[in-house]
């Protein structure tokens, strides 16, 4: 998995005298529809088990873990990533690098079944999927997620409310943020799912077909009218349903695809920034440099140099 550029704001660490343990020290915050736990570890450890009664979204804030789930090989778990874990599923965690100067820190957000179901019912009733045989759902197969900007922003906002808000309406604000978090989570899952499966599904799912068309014509001018024709939908309906499915307008999705392709070219030797600009489908070099820096945090040239170092 590519390293994320969207990182959550870390929570202040405990001092040594306020820790009850050096391994997965837990601070819990109970809200109306969920429970937020903040875990921090200050020494190396292996095979530490963790389990929740509700579905839990875990998100890394700092450090590195190795996560073992579903009896599969362990995988590195880093800041900018989240893992969705079903109820009663045991997470077994290694902390290969944790020490007092390099702690790990993550959150675990246990969400009530009732709140999840209410949100899904609301979405399925008022925002039905473009394919009539599909419904909104949390996809347990897409459990390891690289943060999008939208998911990152709402998790940060939820943390701000949960940890710092002292108003009477705190639970109401947290509930609204939690509903948005679930929506952004499903949109992030959809983006990763179709990135992985668009070829296989392009003959049976209109958005998979559109994504394939975008990828195969990324250097061409891609207008919403043409994409809506590929989806066999009106322009307005296509725009609305695409944004509901993926959390991005079609033009923003295309921009991210071009920037992702540009990063691939920049990691390869022998390409100038100007060449990469046009190879990735951009028509204006200054716009490309500005958009790349906004997304990645580095200019294309600086990114290219960092990859060659």
* Total-model pTM: 0.93
Asked whether residue 91 falls in the same domain as residue 208, the answer is: no
Asked whether residue 106 falls in the same domain as residue 177, the answer is: yes
Q: Report pLDDT for 204.
A: 93
Cα→Cα distances 197→72, 105, 251, Å: 21, 32, 21
Contacts 24+ apart (CB under 8 A), 20-25: 23/48, 23/95, 24/48, 24/50, 24/93
Q: Report pLDDT for 132.
A: 87
**Tokens 């001092």 belong to which residue?**
15
Q: Report pLDDT for 247.
A: 96
Q: Report pLDDT for 62.
A: 97
Q: Report pLDDT for 1.
A: 61
Asked whether residue 50 falls in the same domain as residue 166, the answer is: yes
Range of the domain at 212: 198-250
* Residue 10 in domain: no
Which of 149, 176, 194 terminates a domain? The answer is 194
**How many domains is the chain built from?**
3
Residue 55 backbone dihedrals phi, psi, to 5 degrees: -60, 140
Domain with residue 26: its CATH number is: 2.60.120.280
Q: Report pLDDT for 307.
A: 86
User: Exposed, middle or buried: residue 236 (CB in 10 Å: 0-12, 13-18, 19+)?
Assistant: exposed
pLDDT means per 10 residues, the chain with 309 residues, are: 80 93 96 96 97 97 97 95 97 97 97 97 95 93 94 97 93 96 97 95 96 96 96 97 97 96 94 96 96 94 88
* Residue 235 in domain: yes
* Residue 4 in domain: no
Asked whether residue 152 falls in the same domain as residue 296, the answer is: no
């Amino acid at each position: 998995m590519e390293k994320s550029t969207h990182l959550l704001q870390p929570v202040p660490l405990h001092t040594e005298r306020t820790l009850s343990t050096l391994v997965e020290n837990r601070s819990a915050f109970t809200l109306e529809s969920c429970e937020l736990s903040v875990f921090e570890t200050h020494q190396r450890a292996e095979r530490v088990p963790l389990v929740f009664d509700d579905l839990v979204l875990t998100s890394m804030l700092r450090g590195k873990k190795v996560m073992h789930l579903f009896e599969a090989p362990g995988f590195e778990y880093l800041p900018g990533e989240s893992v969705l874990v079903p109820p009663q599923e045991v997470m077994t965690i290694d902390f290969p690098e944790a020490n007092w100067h390099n702690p790990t820190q993550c959150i675990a957000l246990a969400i009530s079944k009732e709140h999840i179901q209410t949100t899904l019912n609301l979405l399925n009733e008022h925002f039905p999927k473009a394919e009539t045989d599909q419904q909104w759902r949390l996809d347990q197969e897409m459990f390891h997620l690289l943060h999008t900007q939208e998911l990152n922003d709402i998790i940060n906002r939820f943390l701000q409310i949960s940890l710092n808000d002292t108003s009477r309406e705190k639970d109401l604000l947290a509930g609204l943020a939690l509903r948005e978090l679930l929506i952004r989570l499903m949109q992030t899952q959809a983006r990763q799912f179709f990135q992985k499966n668009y070829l296989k599904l392009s003959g049976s799912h209109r958005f998979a077909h559109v994504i394939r068309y975008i990828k195969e014509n990324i250097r061409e001018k891609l207008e919403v009218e043409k994409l809506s024709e590929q989806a066999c939908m009106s322009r307005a309906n296509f725009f609305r349903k695409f944004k509901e499915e993926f959390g991005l307008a079609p033009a923003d999705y295309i921009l991210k695809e071009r920037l992702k392709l540009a990063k691939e070219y920049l990691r390869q030797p022998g390409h100038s920034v100007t060449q990469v600009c046009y190879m990735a489908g951009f028509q204006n070099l200054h716009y490309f440099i500005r958009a790349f820096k906004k997304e990645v945090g580095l200019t294309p040239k600086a990114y290219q140099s960092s990859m060659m170092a």
